[in-house]
Amino acid sequence: MTQSETKLNPPESGVIVRMYNSGFGDCLLLAFPGDDGQARYMLIDCGVFMGYPDAKERMQSVVRDIAAATGNHLHVVAVTHEHEDHISGFRQARDIFDGIAIDDLWLAWTENPKDPVARQLKETIVKKAKALKSAVNRLGLIDQGAASRIQAVLDFGPFEMGVNSKISELDYLRQQSKKKLKEQEDYRRPGETPLTMPGVKGFKFYVLGPPRDPAAIGITDKPSETYLTSMMNEEAAFCIALEDRLAVSSKQDEMLIEYCCPFNKPYEIPQKDAAANKDYGEFFRTSYGFTGEKGQGPEWRRIDGDWLAPSEQLALRINNYTNNTSLVLAIEMPESRDILLFVGDAQVGNWRSWQKVQWAPGTHGEKGVDGGDILNRTVFYKVGHHGSHNATLRQQGLEMMNADKLVAIIPVDQEWAHTVKGWSHPEQNLLDGLEEKAKGRVLRADRISAQLEKPDNIGTAAWQSFMSKVECGPDNLWIQFTVEDK
């Protein structure tokens, strides 16, 4: 890959969004017109999925282009969440980032180490991940393929804080940013007073998510799938089966564990004592076998590893939980009041919470703003989580994006996702919905060089206007779109 040699210049009114083809990851560079005639730049995420071919080389090419396009100056860096495919570039191309000035860093309240709720959320998920690592160790002796798949998910997320942790990338950015994150108000919170970018007139940055309610963060697919509840769920039961008290975070958890164990303590027979049990030892030895010696039962009847199978689903659900802590930004342009929406990998609970976020009427006669209003005015949508089925809501999401000039972009590599990982990214039903809603104006990182075909539901003039605002970079490094403010 090569990179462009010239700076990225925004339009006189509006913004340019450059989506980098990092592979399977998010990296978006925005250029705004400054009051002094000089551009202002914002970077939203910078990463690629672990294990993607030539990942480090790709990210270094991307960051070299970012350095050239911005003149080594980023006015704002926003990180949506801690997954590898959103932050790996800050590690893989750190030597290049060392030469790029960063004025301000935007992180969600969930990344504030002084916030008690944020700290509890991270402690809970790390404890569950430690239980999963115990499962990986056991499962590796029986099914190495399954163990490797689970380990890949654990490597993907921020599950080992302080030990080979993805949070080190955030610490690096905290150090690089001129503005330091010291107080609670330095972290982004839904409903806070709209943010501004110094030197950029009229643009407002609304923070929609992540929600402050941990229960909402836990809703990753449907209402019944919550992580932080007062009821014992399959995650807790799994941790019990592992005999891993690391997953216990309160006295209430201890009581729930005792309540949910299949047998009361006086009737429990630990596996290590089963063969020698005076009442049932002979039954265990002849039925299930413990050593494989003559007289022992057939080993195939044992279920030492079978019960570990749900650990893969648990790993994926914990992964989705982190997605739901995504920082969500809606950028309002000054004249048209059109919205550019960047959702990270937000999932169901995050999306639903926007309907309750409100801003009071402005001092200059502007109407009040809420999440529904923002969706209605969205003209540019960065599709969540590479087009997964649960990262774009239907009724409280895409169906509310009613702007006639809607454009969507998807950071994805469909062939790699399908053939290598076995994932359905992007989900076909979502693609169909996007194509219909945006009238074919859907840009993808994996189809930069492909010529888009005009669909029947858009006029020739509107299609030509759209295509005139699309530009592709050298060697398919990026695709960008100019969002005009009119």
> What domains lie within the chain, and their CATH numbers?
14-112+181-220+324-484 (3.60.15), 120-160+224-318 (no CATH)
Identify the band that residue 243 occupies on the pLDDT scale cut at 50, 70 and 90: very low
CB crowding 388-407: b at 16 or more within 10 Å, else e: bebbbbeeebbebbebebbb
Backbone angles phi, psi at 138, to 5 degrees: -75, -40
Crossing angle of the two packed helices 311-323 and 144-156, in degrees rounded to 10 = 10
Identify the band that residue 223 occupies on the pLDDT scale cut at 50, 70 and 90: very low
Q: Identify the helix (H) or strand (E) that includes residue 83.
A: none
Summarize the confidence of residues 249-272 as an average pLDDT. 60
* Tokens read off for 221: 């697919």
Nearest CA-CA partner of 107 in 2, 10, 186: 186
Does the pTM surpass 0.85? The reply is no
What percentage of the chain reaches a pLDDT higher than 90?
Answer: 58
199-217 pLDDT, tens per residue? 999 999 999 999 999 888 8
Predicted local distance difference test score (pLDDT) of residue 298: 72
85-128 pLDDT, tens per residue? 999 999 999 999 999 999 999 999 999 999 999 988 887 777 77
Residue 263 has pLDDT above 70, yes or no: no
Cα–Cα distance, 381 to 385 (Å, whole number): 12
Summarize the confidence of residues 60-77 as an average pLDDT. 98
294-335 pLDDT, tens per residue? 777 776 666 665 555 556 666 666 777 788 899 999 999 999
Cα–Cα distance, 399 to 434 (Å, whole number): 10
What is the total residue count of the chain?
Answer: 486
Token pair 């799994």 is found at 238
Predicted local distance difference test score (pLDDT) of residue 477: 96
Predicted local distance difference test score (pLDDT) of residue 54: 95
Of 97-101, 151-155, 192-196, 379-383, the poorest mean pLDDT is in 151-155
Identify the band that residue 269 occupies on the pLDDT scale cut at 50, 70 and 90: confident
Cα–Cα distance, 393 to 401 (Å, whole number): 11
6-41 pLDDT, tens per residue? 899 999 999 999 999 999 999 999 999 999 999 999
Summarize the confidence of residues 337-360 as an average pLDDT. 94
Residue 226 has pLDDT above 70, yes or no: no
Token pair 């689903």 is found at 313
Predicted local distance difference test score (pLDDT) of residue 380: 98
Summarize the confidence of residues 222-226 as an average pLDDT. 35
Summarize the confidence of residues 430-454 as an average pLDDT. 93
Predicted local distance difference test score (pLDDT) of residue 212: 93
Identify the band that residue 220 occupies on the pLDDT scale cut at 50, 70 and 90: confident
- Three-state DSSP state, 172: helix
Identify the band that residue 219 occupies on the pLDDT scale cut at 50, 70 and 90: confident
Choice between 245 and 288, residue whose per-residue pLDDT is larger: 288
Q: Are strands 14-20 and 478-484 parallel, antiparallel or unpaired?
A: antiparallel
Predicted local distance difference test score (pLDDT) of residue 254: 54
List, edge to edge, every strand of the sheet that includes 204-209. Answer: 204-209, 328-332, 339-342, 378-382, 407-410, 442-444
Predicted local distance difference test score (pLDDT) of residue 281: 82
